[in-house]
Structure 1
């Protein structure tokens, strides 16, 4: 059963990400998990499941093909996605935490 997630509140100032992924890599901001269960039980940080959903905030230039050209990515900046939980590399920039992963680690786009 998947953990409940919520979209991050937009109270913080949006800043430009200092990460530019290369090739078929994407940078994702993970959705936050809920602090309480549906029954009203408050969860401590250690008991929260990290959601495998997020929003793409930067994309690379595409995979380098055998003929030297770049293949375009199937996802775009701003897409909400579902990804494998073991694949991403966690990157911290300032106070923000991002995930760096290959496009192949993305399972679906949430519409």
Structure 2
């Protein structure tokens, strides 16, 4: 996948299976992950270069991006502006 303009492809981190206290979280109560690793980066838009790179771990908004399933793997395609912070 090669994103265009200011879009990035993010592989979301898996949802937490247990709490810090050891309680197992059922599938229906799991939170949607808001963290992931950048897999691909577009060239930028209007002459502005991208500030994130492949391999960066990022935090993004809860409802950011478009979910895509490719070859059994889930990805998010989002604008660089939807990324809140690089960890």
TM-score tier, shorter chain, comes to over 0.9
Match of 2:9 in 1: 27
Match of 1:93 in 2: 70
> Structure 2: which 5+ runs fail to align?
none
Q: How many residues align?
A: 87
Match of 1:62 in 2: 44
TM-score normalized with structure 1 length? 0.75
Which protein, 1 or 2, shows the higher relative CO under an 8 Å CA cutoff with sep ≥ 6? 2
1:1-111 aligned within 5 A: 19-63=1-45, 65=46, 70-110=47-87
Runs of 4+ in 1 over 4 A off after TM superposition: none
> Structure 1: which 5+ runs fail to align?
1-18
Question: What is the CA–CA distance in structure 2 between the aligned matches of 1:90 and 1:80, rounded to whole Å?
Answer: 18
TM-score normalized with structure 2 length? 0.94
Cα deviation for residue 43 of structure 1 reads 1.1
RMSD: 0.9
